[in-house]
Amino acid sequence: MSGTEPALAATRRALHGVAELVLAGPQYRANGLIRLRVTPGGFGTVAGAELRVDGGQLVVGSTRVSLNGRSCAELAAEAGVEAGAPADLYSDGSGVDPAEPIAFDPVAAQTIVSAFAEGDQALRELAPDAEPVLWPEHFDLGISVQAVNYGVSPGDGYLGEPYAYVGPHQPRRGAFWNAPFGAVRPVEALVGAAGMLRFFREGRDRAGE
């Protein structure tokens, strides 16, 4: 695993906060959409003014602002928006306060954004007609096809490192299904987009049995 689990957890929380408070919340208030997308080097908005994270920077037009040591409120002000999560849509979230300075580990950040990039590629190959969405609630990338969820999480309370998952809406039984919500595999063990795609395809086949 690239980066220690504490570094991954802290970095995941920081990036989640930016995604939720600086990108998704303002986008929702302006355009009624909370979904985000994977972009080169990170993730960004899908509607209105284009805001995106590229590595350790917030990109606003031709302006780049370092994330480290800045609060989401400060970053949002640089982008000309008001920081804040989408209101009254979900109960979970990043837990980051808009006034809280964020900090993250560059190696852990690269691990997370690489997992998203590889996952986006694999999901698009799995289902070309489905648009992968990065959701601000749990900060995971996913699609749903024929009552099965496929996606990539940067880690959470279940598994503290990036992982790919297959989650049938109706539970399945068997050795393949190793999680309460379906099947998971650490991204590192899958070795890139090709490995993720094989896992997703196997999950699709087993979900259809």
Strand partners, 151: 142, 165
SS3 call for 15: helix
What is the reported pLDDT for 4?
Answer: 78
CB neighbours of residue 90 within 10 Å? 13
pLDDT at 5: 83
By three-state DSSP, how is residue 103 classified?
Answer: coil
* pLDDT given for residue 207 in this prediction: 95
d(CA 109, CA 9): 10
Averages of pLDDT over runs of 10 residues in the chain (209 residues) are 78 97 97 97 95 96 94 97 94 94 94 98 98 97 98 95 97 95 97 97 94
Rounded CA gap, 88 and 25, in Å? 11
Domain residue spans in the chain? 5-106, 108-207
pLDDT for 139 equals: 97
Per-residue pLDDT at 2: 54
pTM for this entry: 0.95
Cα 24 from Cα 134, distance rounded (Å): 10
